[in-house]
């Protein structure tokens, strides 16, 4: 069989859009088929990385309220009271596919994103942790990914003075195609300095930076 004779997989499947999702896209577009650009945009925005379509239902089963919970779902990071007016902020994020494409920058920007979320709550980041999953360590690509990801996590943290204090590393053929790169940041804050994602009510000032 020549290359020309190989069956061509539909574009939406190559972009990670299921047949059911394609039907939903058609409904949203008034019954018409999306053009290639629209399909690409839907595939990005409806990806697990952007929409958490697979993990959200699972996360929704977990408890989110309690006596010590200061800030929960919907905020930039979770915040738990630890007494004496102090609280701990924490955020975890996965940067799996970006790290599979460019391991150093994929991991580094994952760390940057969660440090940003800790800052925005009014906390000071004090530690980073990671949970990493890769394929067969005997494969050259796996070694390339491990080297880049580990350097990326540590490199970004070192630049801003936040140490990586722990983590775990597991190798399994399951992760040969796409590694799992989960990073977590922890911050310490005074509860009185808590800054929430929204500031409702009249009289608030709006500041615009840049053009």
Architecture of domain 69-193: 2-Layer Sandwich (3.30)
* Whether pLDDT at 18 is above 90: yes
Name the phi and psi angles at 105, rounded to 5. Answer: -70, -35
Q: Is 54 helix (H, G, I), strand (E, B) or coil?
A: coil
Q: Is 137 exposed, middle or buried (0-12, 13-18, 19+ CB in 10 A)?
A: exposed
Name the phi and psi angles at 153, rounded to 5. Answer: -65, -50
Paired tokens of 60: 């929704």
Least confident of 100-114, 116-130, 191-205: 191-205
Higher pLDDT, 3 or 105: 105
Strands (E), the chain: 69-71, 78-83, 86-94, 124-134, 164-171, 180-190
Q: What is the mean pLDDT of residues 13-24?
A: 93
The confidence score (pLDDT) of residue 133 equals 97
Structural domain spans, the chain: 3-51, 69-193
Q: Percent of the chain having pLDDT more than 70?
A: 97
Q: How far apart are CA 194 and CA 83, in angstroms?
A: 14
Q: How far apart are CA 94 and CA 96, in angstroms?
A: 6
Q: How far apart are CA 178 and CA 156, in angstroms?
A: 22
Catalytic-labelled residue, pool 12, 49, 97, 144: 49
Paired tokens of 25: 């896209």
The confidence score (pLDDT) of residue 51 equals 85
Q: How far apart are CA 135 and CA 171, in angstroms?
A: 5
Tens-place pLDDT, residues 165-210: 999 999 999 999 899 999 999 999 999 999 998 888 888 888 888 8
C-beta separation of 196 from 123 below 8 A = no
Biggest CA-to-CA distance, the chain: 72
Q: Is 97 a catalytic residue?
A: no
Tens-place pLDDT, residues 22-79: 999 999 999 999 999 999 999 999 988 788 888 889 988 998 888 999 998 889 999 9
pTM: 0.77
Q: Percent of the chain having pLDDT more than 90?
A: 73
Other Cβ atoms closer than 10 A to 98: 17
């Amino acid at each position: 069989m020549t290359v020309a004779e190989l069956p061509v997989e539909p574009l939406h499947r190559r972009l990670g859009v299921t047949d059911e999702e394609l039907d939903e896209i058609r409904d949203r577009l008034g019954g018409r088929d999306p053009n290639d650009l629209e399909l690409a945009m839907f595939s990005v925005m409806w990806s697990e990385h952007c929409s958490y379509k697979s993990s959200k239902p699972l996360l929704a089963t977990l408890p989110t309220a309690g006596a010590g919970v200061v800030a929960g779902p919907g905020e930039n990071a979770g915040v738990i009271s630890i007494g004496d007016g102090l609280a701990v902020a924490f955020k975890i994020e996965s940067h799996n596919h970006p790290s599979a494409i460019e391991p150093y920058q994929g991991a580094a920007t994952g760390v940057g994103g969660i440090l940003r979320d800790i800052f925005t709550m009014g906390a000071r980041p004090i530690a980073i942790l990671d949970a990493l999953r890769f394929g067969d360590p005997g494969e050259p690509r796996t070694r390339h990914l491990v080297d880049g990801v580990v350097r990326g996590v540590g490199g970004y943290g070192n630049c801003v003075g936040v140490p990586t204090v722990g983590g775990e590393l597991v190798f399994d053929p399951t992760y040969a195609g796409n590694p799992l790169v989960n990073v977590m940041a922890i911050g310490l804050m005074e509860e009185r300095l808590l800054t929430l994602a929204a500031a409702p009510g009249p009289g608030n000032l709006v500041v615009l930076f840049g053009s």
